[in-house]
Structure 1
């Protein structure tokens, strides 16, 4: 008779997982709270601060001798507008909602995954689904958050310049997005193969 001698996690592994779970919970609470506070700040639609991206726009910065202005190439700046157009205001709200949801989904999936690992359940269909959901949510959120932020910035430019300034950068950095998508796909593939190998091995016992 063959006995199942699957190794259990060590105390050091358990401590590491507990620390990871605690850090994940802190990140989730902090991220969601930051989004909620930002929504409260945005909701009145008065004196709204918006992060905007520029395409090397010339600007004077007081960095010379005795604070003398020196021309610099502007890449990012925070714009404060009396109010945003309705669509831009909604986009800014949606940005924060998407950010909170993304953080919540990713952290919850990883916490559930850690909990399963602590129970010596590494490769399973459930864990594969958790990894896939976390990867998909993270990738979509990574693309959607700056997209809605750019929409809000576009409205801020339009309000401040009466539509005369059109240098706002409406883009998402694709390289980190592709890298994140690759990591998510690779992790899901690894867990899928691991789960299949586990089932094949169990069939031999």
Structure 2
């Protein structure tokens, strides 16, 4: 009887823990590109979207890595092209390096059309103060416009009849329908694998 009590409490305790962790996540605001204001105050603001808008809404972001190293996290102020907006964003690490990086995101609330769906895959990555150049073998696909086929690539040695050697391969696929919005399969998908 003593052993059954901890097992009986495992499921309710796990459910309670998930509910406690979900509350802060649900209270967060969705970070998106701020709508630019006109440079001339007498100029009208950006107009409403043209045409019928999709009814579906989706906001999500996921990423994986084989390994990431961060030095001095939350130490560098984020730089932006909008004056004063960097103070409202989270601070960046002084240096980040990673291997086997992939990320996929969807945001139906994005102001810019190409930010609706983004898929990225990179064999290696390096960022100094939040500034990250594209590394060789990196793949990025954005939608809108819709991309019916994924892209693939990576870092591979030239073909050889004796030995085919590859380092890291990846795929990226981002889709978005002008009429259905995020109601496509997949919305954004990215992967990186060791060859």
TM-score, normalised relative to structure 2: 0.24
If each structure's helix is expressed as a fraction of its own residues, which one has the higher value? 1
Q: Which has the higher contact order (CA 8 A, sep 6+)?
A: 1
Q: Max radius of gyration: which structure? A: 1
- Which has the larger strand fraction? 2
Normalised to the residue count of structure 1, the TM-score between the two structures is 0.23
